[in-house]
């Protein structure tokens, strides 16, 4: 990833990249007749200085692509941002990213532009996606002036939508991983959490296939219907 970013920066500064700035980035893809077995999905996780979008900031981004119904380990994103001015004293013990790492990280603007080009407008999945979506959209707007809305889907809703009777002893990522016998090697590391979320996403996609869902729109509609049911049950 580091070498890919270095080469991309060199091409960008030489005017050789296809997208020089945020205004020319690939347009977000709308869920439609794209086949789940053929489309590219991005599974993303962020590390931040805290939980409050108004005062905390993104410091690391991890993501992996699902291509043609399988996790593509050759298609990953894993970068720490260069943000030495940020206070990480309250969270360093959680994510292990200290002042030295933030000093040696990658320039935020370059990293975010590279992320957008790498994503190529693909739909984004995350566990409790509202958190990652708010932080990423805030950062993209503040650093690049980028405001395009991508399609986001919450894996924390996707799993119970397809496995409503699963007894997971909790609603967290670890609970679902344990339920399906998946091993999470390292928690609170963006790339590792993204990979674990991608594995859970594949479980849901396999169930979707068995249930007869074939397109991205059908998956998106299934998730929306599940959220509507949850809202009704809260009334």
Tens digit of each residue's pLDDT (9 = 90 or more) over 69-103: 999 999 999 999 999 999 888 777 678 788 888 99
Structure tokens given for 103? 């000093």
Among 10-24, 54-68, 108-122, 123-137, the least confident range? 10-24
The CATH number of residue 39's host domain is: 3.30.420.10
For 205, the domain range is 2-234
| Overall number of domains in the chain | 1
Tens digit of each residue's pLDDT (9 = 90 or more) over 178-196: 999 998 776 668 899 999 9
Tens digit of each residue's pLDDT (9 = 90 or more) over 132-162: 999 999 999 999 999 999 999 999 999 999 9
Closest CA to 216 of 80, 38, 32, 60: 32
- Quote helix, strand, coil % in the chain, to nearest 5: 45, 15, 35
* Displacement of CA 125 from its chain's centroid (Å): 5
Q: What is the pTM of this model?
A: 0.90
Query: Could you tell me the end-to-end alpha-carbon distance of the chain, in angstroms, rounded to an integer?
Result: 47
Which 3 state secondary structure label does DSSP give 22? helix
**DSSP H or E segment with residue 75:** strand 70-80
Measured distance CA(71)–CA(64) in Å, rounded: 7
Measured distance CA(234)–CA(70) in Å, rounded: 35
Over the chain, what is the mean pLDDT?
A: 90
Plot region of 173 (φ>0 → left; ψ -120 to 50 → alpha; else → beta): alpha
């Amino acid at each position: 990833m580091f070498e890919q970013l270095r080469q991309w920066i060199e091409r960008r500064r030489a005017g050789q990249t296809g997208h020089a700035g945020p205004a020319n980035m690939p347009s977000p893809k709308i869920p439609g007749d794209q086949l789940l077995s053929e489309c590219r999905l991005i599974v993303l996780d962020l590390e931040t200085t805290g939980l409050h979008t108004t005062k905390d900031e993104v410091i690391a981004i991890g993501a992996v692509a699902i291509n043609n119904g399988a996790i593509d380990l050759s298609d990953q994103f894993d970068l720490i941002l260069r943000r030495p001015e940020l206070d990480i004293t309250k969270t360093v013990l959680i994510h292990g990213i200290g002042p030295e790492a933030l000093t040696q990280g990658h320039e935020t603007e370059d990293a975010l532009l590279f992320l957008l080009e790498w994503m190529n407008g693909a739909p984004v999945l995350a566990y409790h996606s509202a958190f990652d979506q708010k932080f990423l959209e805030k950062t993209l707007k503040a650093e690049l002036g980028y405001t395009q809305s991508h399609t986001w889907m919450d894996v924390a809703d996707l799993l119970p939508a397809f496995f409503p009777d699963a007894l997971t002893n909790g609603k967290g990522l670890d609970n679902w991983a344990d339920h399906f016998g998946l091993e999470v090697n390292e928690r609170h590391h963006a790339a590792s959490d993204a990979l674990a979320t991608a594995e859970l996403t594949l479980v849901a996609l396999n169930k979707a296939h068995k249930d007869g869902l074939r397109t991205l729109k059908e998956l998106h509609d299934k998730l929306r219907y599940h959220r509507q049911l949850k809202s009704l049950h809260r009334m």
